[in-house]
Amino acid sequence: MAAASKLLAKLKPAAATPTTLYTVPAATETHVNLFAANQGAGVSLIRVALLFSGGALAVTDYIMYDISMAVGTSINLTGIALATGQRIIIQSNTGDVSFVATGIEIT
């Protein structure tokens, strides 16, 4: 088994649009750290969901839902372990939040 630490993905999605940040590649397990930073001039609400491979977004997928982020603040989530095909979905109500995923891919 090989392990590689890396920057997995980074996005600043449009307002109120659930967006896939990262999908685990085939034959891979990934341990993820997720960062969110509010770059806007007002409060933003964020959502983060974890989906099984091929699954549609459901209310039971969210690990964060409408979490308030003040101007200039950031949030760090650690300990996210994902298997092949699983996805991280992100969203903010304003489009002012950037999301960055770092981690270790194990093949």
φ, ψ at 18 (rounded to 5°): -60, 125
Q: Please state the pTM of the whole predicted model.
A: 0.96
- Specify the pLDDT at position 44: 98
Phi, psi at 59, each rounded to 5°: -60, -25
Q: Tens digits of per-residue pLDDT, 33-66?
A: 999 999 999 999 999 999 998 889 999 999 999 9
* Rounded Cα–Cα distance for residues 12 and 2 (Å): 30
pLDDT, tens only, 57-103: 999 999 999 999 999 999 999 999 999 999 999 999 999 999 999 99
Place of tokens 């990934």: 30
Six-digit token string for 12: 């600043």
